Structure 1
């Protein structure tokens, strides 16, 4: 194999974990798993509310080059989320309407880029969820190298092929299949607790005594 190139098989989706996590908020799941998981600086480009929960197909490319992303499009299947480590470079777009249309035709449910994308109106028009570090109209190179289905890092978060990608208006988190069900269980418990807290606020019964208690413990009151 030529140095700098790797094309590995797609990991099968962990459907039970995807089903359990679908609909949960990224902030809630991140909270219950120690508030350490989540990509920083990668936000949705869609204008309308977006959410996704699917199987990670990962790609690593050199800055400004999308040759291996085109190759990755060929292996996408229903329920996949394309996740690309472009080194955080936003000087050139790695993905646009044509590639998005190809991904969608293969059944992909979203895309995540630690890089720039373009044709943002098309993502909104076709209701295809996409998260990116930036937007730039300038096109990419197509020379390589790059790797498909390898561990990558986007926004400071490690993503392995076959991880479950959960995304919404707040951003993106990745969960390994091993922790997916526990994350979903704890997340659902926390969402129930938060709904009850909000109801106490609406009912005028919210108890914020913990604030002063915490400050007294620190000697601030």
Structure 2
């Protein structure tokens, strides 16, 4: 048996931890204006999900919300259903499906439920199905791939525990951003500071863009880098 943070006992391999809710609505609203690329730049430039594709077929549809994490056995979606039932409006379901593409862990009927419950989207290190339905938009979804084969509902799995998803470490309650460029997880404890850095990044890029629009070339910016590396100019 395993004991969750709320004191409930679950069979080995199963766990449902409480939803984490440290992000304020004010903070989430501010992050809705932040491009994923800006967040990635201020967090070291080499972070965020890799290998996922957007299946909602709408470049303008973005995602910003609190992470509900799910770890599931490849080919099984029992705990994904449980997570959808426990999630609150705006939450993002982030699924560690082990990158398995042999069997979908989410499909069109689950999309219908998620829309009705006003969830914020899905991030899946695994496969989905019913591609045409997801392509209608409304609900953002990112997945490693798609396949028609349907899942079992046996478990095991865990909800709101630390997971790995498409190269990201995701903690329950982290802030999840998604746009046309991809998906990134921002640690909840660092979100306030990262927002400030993202706002500064946006101001810097606005200045550079304005200069670029004049057609003037800042040759020294890159020549100085070459000189430091010993390149003859």
Shorter-chain TM-score bucket reads over 0.9
1:13-52 correspondence to structure 2 within 5 Å: 14-15=23-24, 16-49=26-59, 50-52=61-63
Kindly indicate whether the alpha-carbon contact (under 8 Å) linking 1:56 and 1:161 is maintained by their aligned counterparts in 2: yes
- Normalising to structure 2: TM-score of the pair? 0.90
Return the alpha-carbon distance in structure 1 between the equivalents of residues 92 and 22 of structure 2. 10
- CA-CA distance at 1:19 after TM superposition: 2.0
Higher relative contact order (CA 8 A, sep 6+): 1
- CA-CA distance at 1:67 after TM superposition: 1.0
Which whole-Å deviations, capped at 9, do the CAs of 1:137-181 have from their partners, x for residues lacking one? 111122110001101011121111111101111111111222111
Partner of 1:6: 15
Q: Please state whether the residue corresponding to 1:125 is helix, strand or coil.
A: coil
> Unaligned 5+ residue runs, structure 1?
none
Kindly indicate whether the alpha-carbon contact (under 8 Å) linking 1:43 and 1:131 is maintained by their aligned counterparts in 2: yes
Kindly indicate whether the alpha-carbon contact (under 8 Å) linking 1:58 and 1:151 is maintained by their aligned counterparts in 2: yes
Tell me the C-alpha RMSD between the 2 structures.
1.3
Return the alpha-carbon distance in structure 1 between the equivalents of residues 106 and 65 of structure 2. 19
Kindly indicate whether the alpha-carbon contact (under 8 Å) linking 1:56 and 1:164 is maintained by their aligned counterparts in 2: yes
Partner of 1:89: 100
Change (3 A) 1:89 1:131: same
Return the alpha-carbon distance in structure 1 between the equivalents of residues 219 and 96 of structure 2. 42
Kindly indicate whether the alpha-carbon contact (under 8 Å) linking 2:105 and 2:151 is maintained by their aligned counterparts in 1: yes
Which whole-Å deviations, capped at 9, do the CAs of 1:108-156 have from their partners, x for residues lacking one? 0111000011112212324210011111111112211000110101112
- Normalising to structure 1: TM-score of the pair? 0.95
- CA-CA distance at 1:208 after TM superposition: 3.0
**Runs of 4+ deviating beyond 6 Å:** none
1:47-58 correspondence to structure 2 within 5 Å: 47-49=57-59, 50-58=61-69
Return the alpha-carbon distance in structure 2 between the equivalents of residues 93 and 208 of structure 1. 50
Partner of 2:225: 214
- CA-CA distance at 1:36 after TM superposition: 3.7
Equivalent residue in structure 2 for 1:143, among 151, 154, 157: 154
Kindly indicate whether the alpha-carbon contact (under 8 Å) linking 2:56 and 2:136 is maintained by their aligned counterparts in 1: no
Partner of 2:186: 175
Count of residues in Structure 1 that have an aligned counterpart in Structure 2: 221
